[in-house]
Amino acid sequence: MCSAKVAVFPFFRRLYQLSKAGRLCVPAMNVNDSITKQKFDNLYCCRESILDGLKRSTDVMFGGKQVVVCGYGEVGKGCSAALKAMGSVVYVTEVDPICALQACMDGFRLVKLNEVIRQVDLVITCTGNKNVVAREYLDRMKNGCIVCNMGHSNTEIDVVSLRTPELTWEKVRSQVDHVIWPDGKRIILLAEGRLLNLSCSTVPTFVLSITATTQALALIELYNAPEGRYKQDVYLLPKKMDEFVASLHLPTFDAHLTELTDEQGKYLGLSKTGPFKPNYYRRTRRPGSDLCLWGNYSPALTGNTTTMMSD
Ligand SMILES: NC(=O)c1ccc[n+]([C@@H]2O[C@H](COP(=O)([O-])OP(=O)(O)OC[C@H]3O[C@@H](n4cnc5c(N)ncnc54)[C@H](O)[C@@H]3O)[C@@H](O)[C@H]2O)c1
């Protein structure tokens, strides 16, 4: 990594840790937090692929099923909306009061996991956190409960705790395991707690195109930037490039974008070619976390780049 001029890295948290420790030896772009990646890969893609992954692996019928979705970020919002649309009764758990309030306003019951764990038919984790579904919850699930993860790794469900002598594992088919308790209760664990959609369904090429375009533009920006524009730190993709990624994909829909008139541009204080929104036009994703995503506005950098505070 040290020999490279640029780094584009989806697992951005690690980059911030390296930056904080003074061990990041190249400039890096956090493409994960560009709006085109967030909305399309995390929200819209997961909204579709959660159903696809569940159907392909279990053939479960969604209507009337009680589901708990852990985490109401972009991925959780997509999963919850899809299941609600299919007639499932959806509960949501959250630690962030803003996302929790969004869940309430979207019509979901906000609960603690222990309040519903005995009754739900399906548990989906979407937090990016660890041990969200700990062994105590797995012990209390009802017979036939399906457990799966849509977050970034297999840390959200404590699968390791299920590898104990008293529990029997039965592989039903690829990516589907029954874990059986001594009293005969069984839960259905999908993809051994890894990402359900990447393990059990396909990801639409349209979404991949958007994400890949974001990454390619980030690389081009870092590679072409004059010496000194980017230091050994983590940056967000300039807003204008985010907008460019979106505009490249609009023709697919035969969509016709309205242009600002000179008068309107002047009134709003915007260039007719964008960027159309300020960098702070978005909620902070993780209030209270060590990441201050909209911290330090640096107009000197390509006019619209946000540097990340590393405290
Ligand atoms: N499956 C996929 O295709 C896919 C696509 C994009 C992102 N991801 C991954 O999904 C995860 C979530 O992504 P996101 O964009 O929704 O992130 P996000 O930060 O917007 O949402 C995660 C939410 O989980 C909440 N949370 C954290 N710990 C919790 C806990 N113990 N209980 C309940 N809620 C908790 C946070 O407050 C946050 O609102 C990340 O790990 C991301 O890498 C998966």
pLDDT the model gives residue 282: 62
Q: For residue 270, is pLDDT > 90?
A: yes
| 11: confidence class by pLDDT, cuts 50, 70, 90 | low
The predicted-structure confidence for 171-194, as pLDDT tens digits, reads as follows: 999 999 999 999 999 999 999 999
Give the type of residue at 136. Answer: E
Q: Scanning the structure block, which residue is given the tokens 């529990």?
A: 167
Quote the ligand 1 centre to 126 CA distance (angstroms): 4
pLDDT tens for residues 94-132? 999 999 999 999 999 999 999 999 999 999 999 999 999
The answer on pLDDT for 298 being more than 80 is no
Q: What is the mean pLDDT of the chain?
A: 87
pLDDT computed for residue 119 by the predictor? 98
Residue of 288, 220, 201 lying closest to 8 (CA atoms): 220
Task: Find out whether the beta carbon of 41 lies less than 6 Å from any atom of ligand 1.
Answer: yes
How many angstroms separate the alpha carbon of residue 128 from the centre of ligand 1?
4
Instruction: Report which protein residue has its CA nearest ligand 1's atom 37.
Output: 96
Does the Cβ of 35 fall within 6 Å of ligand 1? Answer: no
Q: Are 77 and 83 in contact (CB under 8 A)?
A: no
This prediction has a pTM of 0.85
> Given a cut of 90, is residue 293 above it in pLDDT?
no
pLDDT at 38: 84
Q: Would you state the pLDDT for residue 14?
A: 82
pLDDT tens per residue across span 26-84: 999 988 888 888 888 899 999 999 999 999 999 999 999 999 999 999 999 999 999 99
Give the chain's domains with CATH numbers.
39-199 (3.40.50.720)
User: Picking from 178-187, 233-242, 262-271, which range would have the lowest pLDDT averaged per residue?
Assistant: 233-242
Q: What angle do CA 44, 46, 47 make, to 5 degrees?
A: 60
- Provide, rounded to the nearest whole percent, the portion of the chain with pLDDT above 70: 87
> ω into residue 275 within 30 of 0, thus cis?
yes
Does residue 282 have its Cβ closer than 6 Å to ligand 1?
no
Highest-confidence segment of 26-30, 250-254, 277-281, 299-303: 250-254
Q: What is the spatial order of strands in the sheet that 89-93 belongs to?
A: 109-110, 89-93, 66-70, 122-125, 146-149, 186-190, 176-180, 168-173
On whether the CB atoms of residues 37 and 68 are closer than 8 A, the answer is: no
Say if residue 20's pLDDT is above 80: yes
Cα dist. 109→49, 112, 118, 168, 246 in Å?
23, 10, 16, 34, 33
| Whether residue 33 has its Cβ less than 6 Å from ligand 1 | no
Task: Write out pLDDT tens, residues 143-161.
Answer: 999 999 999 889 999 999 9
pLDDT band at 258 (very low <50, low <70, confident <90, very high): very high
